């Protein structure tokens, strides 16, 4: 499968999960009809990427530290569908030792789906569950901390 096909498959699978409920600490083993019954942000990312053959760790901070191409410029115009955006978020588990010389507060993660939109599992005053929404509609506390590309 080439890069374009992987991205198309990733987005198709991600969109097929829209509407699933959010559950903080959700694990992929909790299934309903063979699929995860609920997601938190990092279990959603882990599930979607696993479906296209890319294994990522369970937590958002470990996903941010995983091998992948870091997109140094946070300019959203250079993003490619399938890139993962890591946000400061409203809560999270922080591991400064994973990012020598930087303090990255990773508390939320989402898949860039193109056209300034993301697909993610969230629980905010704006949306809850797996949704596709404009980046503009995120809570103001969601500051972009890091962007990584795993489909190269």
Query: Distance (Å, rounded) from C-alpha 37 to C-alpha 33?
Result: 8
CB atoms closer than 10 angstroms to residue 89: 21
pLDDT at position 89 is 67
CATH of 3-149, one of 3.30.470.20, 3.40.80.10, 3.40.50.1370, 3.90.1720.10: 3.90.1720.10
Domain extent listing, the chain: 3-149
Query: Distance (Å, rounded) from C-alpha 59 to C-alpha 104?
Result: 14
Query: Distance (Å, rounded) from C-alpha 34 to C-alpha 108?
Result: 26
Q: 137 vs 151, which has greater pLDDT?
A: 151
pLDDT at position 94 is 73
Contact 111, 117 (CB under 8 A): no
Average pLDDT over every residue of 1-30: 92
What's the token pair of residue 34? 């063979």
pLDDT at position 130 is 97
- pLDDT bin (cut points 50, 70, 90) of residue 99 is confident
pLDDT at position 129 is 95
Q: Residues 16-62: pLDDT tens digits?
A: 999 999 998 887 666 777 789 999 999 999 999 999 999 999 999 99
- Rg of the chain over all Cα atoms, to the nearest angstrom: 14
């Amino acid at each position: 499968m080439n890069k374009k096909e992987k991205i198309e498959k990733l987005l198709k699978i991600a969109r097929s999960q829209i509407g699933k409920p959010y559950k903080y600490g959700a694990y992929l083993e909790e299934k309903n009809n063979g699929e995860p019954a609920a997601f938190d942000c990092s279990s959603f990312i882990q599930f979607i990427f696993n479906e296209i053959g890319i294994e990522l760790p369970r937590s958002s901070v470990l996903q941010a530290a995983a091998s992948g191409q870091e997109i140094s410029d946070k300019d959203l115009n250079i993003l490619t569908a399938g890139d993962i955006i890591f946000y400061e978020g409203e809560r999270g588990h922080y591991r400064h030792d994973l990012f020598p010389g930087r303090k990255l507060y990773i508390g939320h993660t989402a898949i860039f789906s193109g056209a300034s939109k993301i697909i993610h599992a969230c629980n905010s005053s704006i949306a809850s569950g797996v949704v596709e929404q404009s980046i503009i509609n995120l809570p103001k506390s969601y500051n972009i901390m890091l962007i990584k590309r795993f489909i190269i």
